[in-house]
């Protein structure tokens, strides 16, 4: 087996088909999580001042590892997409969602070395380090299941979102018409009424804007009751699809001899 094929087996999606691939998976995942912890710790001025050099060293180490991983994935892309030519396979990875995430998570570190950028902009760009958390999707079977569930229920979720959108527009327009005369400052326009509708429909109820007329209070109660059911719809759809997908996963096993997936 060629060296390139061995490297590919370390980074492919099928874990357990190469000695060391599980170590690579957990090492990269742990490094991503530690980066997120560092981002939080750096937000504390006292901690950042005391451990500034340590944070930078760890950041440089992480960038080196992620950069090597990114380059390796470009190199082995032709094995990941065997039906495409090497150039097209590499371009497909580079412009894929995970490829863009990989690039965006390391790019802010290199930009200041090539371009003269306002340091304030660099600080904003460094927030892209949080995108490293999305890289965990590649290294977690559970996240892949959730991603598959969201993909399968996309149309159902879009329908419920559309229903919520219609209800928000209807509720905010009606409330504006009802409360505008009584509270011209609180319900000055439909935009302000829309903020009230969002807070009410999601049952958050901040209380910064609320109706004072009898009809307005009645409408507010109806919207709050509808919100309990409609906002919970996507949760029910996703939960049901997730349970169904997990059951499918349990019914599927892999032959230890040839690696073929067997459906029970």
Summarize pLDDT for 45-87 with one digit per residue, the tens.
899 899 999 999 998 999 999 899 999 999 999 998 888 999 9
User: Residue 257: pLDDT above 70?
Assistant: no
Q: How far apart are CA 103 and CA 88, in angstroms?
A: 18
Last residue of a domain, one of 139, 170, 198: 139
The residue ranking higher by pLDDT, 172 or 262, is 172
Q: Please indicate, yes or no, whether residues 199 and 120 belong to a single structural domain of this protein.
A: no
On whether both 36 and 106 belong to a single domain, the answer is: yes
pLDDT score for 137: 65
Highest mean pLDDT, choosing among 6-10, 71-75, 186-190, 221-225? 71-75
Q: Check: pTM over 0.85? Answer yes or no.
A: no
Domain boundary (114, 139, 164) is at 139
CATH number for the domain that contains residue 43:
1.20.120.350
pLDDT confidence of residue 94: 93
Are 126 and 154 within one domain? no
Give the three-state DSSP class for 263.
Answer: strand
Check residue 89 and give its pLDDT: 92
Instruction: For residue 105, name the pLDDT band (cuts at 50, 70, 90).
Output: confident
pLDDT at residue 15 greater than cutoff 60: no
Average of per-residue pLDDT across 26-46: 84
Residues 135 and 151 in one domain: no
Residues 147, 34 share a domain: no
Give CB contacts under 8 A, 24+ apart, made by 238-245: 238/149, 238/150, 238/153, 238/157, 241/149, 241/152, 241/153, 242/145, 242/146, 242/149, 245/145, 245/148, 245/149, 245/152
Tokens 């319900």 found at: 187
Gap between the Cα atoms of 137 and 258, Å rounded: 27
In 3D, which of 217, 227, 152 has the Cα closest to residue 182?
Answer: 217
Cβ contact 105:44 at 8 Å:
no
Does residue 10 sit in the same domain as residue 134?
yes
Q: Are residues 85 and 119 in the same domain?
A: yes
For residues 76 and 196, membership in a common domain is answered with: no
- Please give the tally of structural domains in the chain: 2
Q: With cut-offs at 50, 70 and 90, classify the pLDDT of residue 252.
A: low
Q: Is the pLDDT of residue 143 over 80?
A: no
Domain range enclosing 170: 140-264
Task: Look at residue 134 and tell me whether its pLDDT is greater than 70.
Answer: no
CATH of residue 231: 1.10.287.70
Chosen domain end from 139, 167, 201: 139
Identify the band that residue 164 occupies on the pLDDT scale cut at 50, 70 and 90.
confident
Please indicate, yes or no, whether residues 102 and 150 belong to a single structural domain of this protein. no
177 & 212 share domain: yes
Question: Is there a single domain that holds both residue 96 and residue 165?
Answer: no
Indicate whether 94 and 135 sit together in one domain: yes
């Amino acid at each position: 087996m060629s060296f390139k094929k061995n490297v590919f087996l370390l980074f492919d999606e099928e874990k357990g088909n190469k000695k060391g691939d599980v170590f690579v998976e957990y090492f990269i995942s742990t490094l991503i999580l530690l980066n997120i912890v560092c981002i939080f710790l750096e937000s504390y001025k006292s901690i950042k001042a005391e451990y500034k050099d340590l944070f930078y060293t760890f950041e440089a180490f992480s960038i080196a590892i992620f950069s090597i991983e990114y380059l390796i994935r470009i190199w082995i892309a032709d094995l990941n997409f065997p039906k495409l030519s090497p150039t097209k396979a590499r371009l497909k990875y580079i412009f894929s969602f995970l490829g863009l995430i990989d690039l965006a998570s390391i790019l802010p570190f290199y930009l200041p070395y090539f371009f003269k950028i306002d340091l304030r902009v660099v600080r904003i760009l460094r927030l892209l380090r949080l995108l490293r958390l999305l890289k965990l999707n590649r290294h977690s079977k559970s996240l892949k299941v959730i991603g598959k569930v969201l993909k399968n229920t996309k149309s159902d979720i879009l329908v419920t979102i559309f229903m919520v959108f219609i209800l928000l527009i209807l509720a905010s327009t009606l409330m504006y018409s009802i409360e505008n005369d009584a509270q011209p400052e609180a319900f000055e326009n439909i935009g302000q009424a829309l903020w009230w509708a969002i807070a009410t429909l999601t049952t958050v109820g901040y209380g910064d804007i609320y109706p004072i007329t009898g009809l307005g209070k009645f409408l507010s109660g109806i919207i709050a009751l509808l919100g309990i059911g409609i906002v919970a719809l996507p949760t029910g759809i996703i939960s049901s699809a997730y349970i169904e997908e997990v059951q499918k996963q349990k019914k599927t096993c892999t032959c230890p001899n040839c690696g073929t997936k067997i459906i029970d």
